[in-house]
Amino acid sequence: MPLPEINTDGLKSFIPTEKIEFLLKNTANPDKKLVRKIIAKSLSKQRLEPEEMAVLINTADPKLVEEIKQGARDLKTNVYGNRIVLFAPLYIGNECVNDCTYCGFRKSNTETLRKTLTMDELGAEIEALEDRGHKRLILVYGEHPMYDAQFIHDTVKKAYSVHKGQGEIRRVNINAAPLDEEGFKLVKSAGIGTYQVFMETYHEPTYKTVHPSGLKSDYLWRLHGLDRAFRAGIDDIGIGALLGLHDWKFEVMGLLYHTIHFEETFGVGPHTISFPRIEPAQGSELTENIPYKVSDEDFTKLVAILRLTVPYTGLILTCRESVKIRNEVIAFGVSQIDAGSDIGVGAYATLDPESAKKSQFVLADGRSLDQVIGELAYAGYLPSFCTACYRVGRTGEHFMEFAIPGFVKRYCTPNAILTLLEYLNDYATPDTREKGLKQIKSELKAMAEGEAKNLLTEKIDAVNNGKRDLYY
Ligand code: SAM
Ligand code: SF4
């Protein structure tokens, strides 16, 4: 199957560039009463309007910024609890027809070693990830005729088919170029979780500069990419912006307008939002001189603002960020993080000294999955590998956690405990096991006595006796 034919006839941008610029200009120095009112609106579980997001963005008084951050922490605690879902990225191939100036896979980068995993190599990668305890993956692909919908479908099927020891992959998400509707339908039939496409920048003139050629150079094809996914029946989609290409203030407003577009067109918002900052990429001048570099101060603030603005979505934070930053912003309501990630193609199975040369960019957090789980548990979080909603057909789990009273208590916390316990029994080092068990104990202690707790205790016993994949 060749790359999809691009047809953008009749498509229009739903990103109102001038309005965004107007709002950002006209909400400068907001009054503290207004800022507090907006935080309170979010805490009452309502999505904010663009005008309100702009006010939060323009809040500069450090005390008020701290109130925004505290609002995000409160929202997380009240709505989502202390669970953090863990996943790993798996790079399938770095062939690419595009020339994104910030990416190590870009066509004009002659330094990179091009590599696409064979099905056997993919099997070995999956086994290596299962050996470490992973259950949730995101498969990542360059954009190339080799990586057509059939190929993506087949690689997803392969990922689900590999079982090593107690290991299995229970959810496969995708980060790949947007397809046409037929392509999305085929990929959906493989049983994918979320399909992620990052817009990179919502600012069209910047978009055109950083995507000079290839399929990705068409702004409208990309902007409407996930609409095609929706129409093909994929309602679990992830949006994102690559921070540093244009002003972050504009980009987060773009993410909000994209969200509103989905709400208005399909009746549901995105499942997840990602907000990666640009990392160094091989031979990329842009990554050496990032045009709109986002400081740590702005980054932590913008994560809190995103949390408050779209309180019902999952927020994803990756190993591109340092441990210090990850620890700070996880508390603002990040729901998923990757751990033990390696983004070289073929990097998990082999100790291939060349695999770094096949990487797209450089990661800042190099801790193992085991280390991350131990540290999260020690800090009072509940690491989770839960995939229950997706597997019983409860799509849009973040929205349900958010909207249905008692959902987290009834489903998410018990499922997180059971999947963490599996990990602790099958893969953890003694130190992590101790920390994890302590956390499970304190979760149980906090649960009200009664039938639900008794049932969970029975399931815990079953896991300890070797049963796997028990969920609510
Ligand atoms: N090729 C597909 C695409 O471009 O949509 C999907 C995979 S691409 C490898 C995944 C994401 O990596 C991109 O959407 C981009 O946001 C991010 N990325 C690219 N270069 C990066 C860099 N230097 N630092 C951080 N993230 C980067
Ligand atoms: Fe290719 Fe995606 Fe990298 Fe662009 S970001 S060069 S499309 S892999």
Rounded to whole angstroms, the Cα distance separating 30 from 336 reads 32
Distance 39 CA to ligand 2 centre (A): 37
Q: Give pTM, 2 decimals.
A: 0.96
21 — pLDDT class (breaks 50, 70, 90): very high
pLDDT tens digits, one per residue of 381-434: 999 999 988 888 777 777 777 777 777 788 889 999 999 999 999 999 999 999
What whole-number distance in Å separates Cα of residue 427 and Cα of residue 423?
5
β-strand partners of 139: 90, 174
Q: Average of pLDDT values for 262-279?
A: 95
Assess whether the C-beta atom of 176 lies below 6 angstroms from ligand 2: no
Residue whose token pair is 């018990």: 414
Residue 360, pLDDT above cutoff 70: no
pLDDT tens digit sequence for 225-250: 999 999 999 999 999 999 999 999 99
Q: What is the pLDDT of residue 398?
A: 73
Pairwise pLDDT comparison (333 vs 228), residue with the higher score: 228
Ligand with the closest atom to the CA of 108:
2
Q: What is the mean pLDDT of the chain?
A: 93
CA–CA separation, 81 and 40 (whole Å): 19
In ligand 2, the atom with minimum distance to the C-alpha of 200 is 5
Q: What is the mean pLDDT of residues 108-132?
A: 95
Instruction: Return d(Cα 39, Cα 27) in angstroms, integer.
Output: 16
Write down the pLDDT at residue 357: 59
Question: Considering the chain, what percentage of its residues have pLDDT values greater than 70?
Answer: 97
Is the Cβ atom of 100 under 6 angstroms away from ligand 2?
Answer: yes
Distance, CA of 71 to CA of 60 (rounded, Å): 16
- In this predicted structure, what is the pLDDT of residue 358? 65
Question: pLDDT at residue 355 above 90?
Answer: no
State the pLDDT at residue 20. Answer: 98
Torsion, CA 389, CA 395, CA 399, CA 401, rounded to 10:
-10
Provide the pLDDT for residue 410. Answer: 83
Q: pLDDT band for position 189 (50/70/90)?
A: very high
Helix, strand, coil shares of the chain as percentages rounded to 5?
50, 10, 40
Across 192-219, average pLDDT: 97
Q: Which atom of ligand 2 is nearest to the CA of 141?
A: 8
Residue 352: pLDDT above 70?
no
* Separation of CA 325 and ligand 1 centre (Å): 20
Report which protein residue has its CA nearest ligand 1's atom 3: 177
Q: Range with the lowest mean pLDDT among 113-117, 205-209, 430-434?
A: 113-117
pLDDT band at 366 (very low <50, low <70, confident <90, very high): confident
Cβ neighbors of 404 (< 8 A, separation 6 or more) are none
User: For the packed helices 50-57 and 248-266, what is the interaxial angle rounded to 10 degrees?
Assistant: 160
pLDDT at 393: 78
Residue 229 near residue 178 (C-beta atoms within 8 A): yes
Please, which residues bridge with residue 140 across strands? Answer: 91, 175
Ligand having the closest approach to the CA of 106:
2
Region 73-82 average pLDDT: 91
- Measure 160 CA to ligand 1 centroid, in angstroms: 24
Domain 82-391 has CATH 3.40.50.1370: no
Average pLDDT over residues 152-171: 97
- Three-state SS at 327: helix
**Which tens digit of pLDDT belongs to each residue from 273-299?**
999 999 999 889 999 999 999 999 999
Probe target for ligand 2 pocket from 98, 152, 207, with the most ligand atoms within 8 Å of CB: 98
Question: What number is the average pLDDT over the span 146-172?
Answer: 97
Find out whether the beta carbon of 103 lies less than 6 Å from any atom of ligand 2: yes
Cα of 239 vs centre of ligand 2, distance in Å, is 16
User: Positive or negative, the Cα torsion across 376, 382, 386, 390?
Assistant: negative
User: Which amino acid, 140?
Assistant: V
Whether the per-residue pLDDT at 57 is higher than 90: the answer is: yes
The closest residue, in CA terms, to atom 4 on ligand 2 is 100
Q: What percent of the chain has pLDDT over 90?
A: 83
Q: Where do the structural domains in the chain lie, given as residue ranges?
A: 19-75, 82-391, 396-464
Q: What angle do the packed helices 430-446 and 369-378 form, to 10 degrees?
A: 40
**Ligand 2 pocket: which of 91, 97, 103 to mutate (most atoms within 8 A of CB):** 103
Q: State if residue 216 touches ligand 2 by the CB under 6 angstroms criterion.
A: yes
Kindly report the protein residue whose alpha carbon is nearest to atom 2 of ligand 2.
142
As for ligand 1, residues whose beta carbon falls within 6 Å of it are 102-103, 140-143, 175-177, 197-198, 200, 242, 276, 278-279, 281, 287, 320, 360-361
Integer Cα distance of 156 and 158 in angstroms: 5
Determine the distance separating the centroid of ligand 1 and the alpha carbon of 428, expressed in angstroms.
Answer: 31
3-state secondary structure of 409: helix
Taking the CA atoms of 294, 298, 303 and 307 in sequence, report the sign of the dihedral they define.
negative
Q: Which residue has the tokens 């009664």?
A: 450
Cα-atom radius of gyration of the chain, to the nearest Å?
21
* Integer Cα distance of 468 and 387 in angstroms: 13
Average pLDDT over residues 340-363: 75
Nearest alpha carbon, ligand 1 atom 18: 103
**For residue 394, how many other CB atoms are within 10 A of its CB?**
14
Q: Which of 102, 143, 222 to mutate to test the pocket of ligand 2 (most atoms within 8 A of CB)?
A: 143
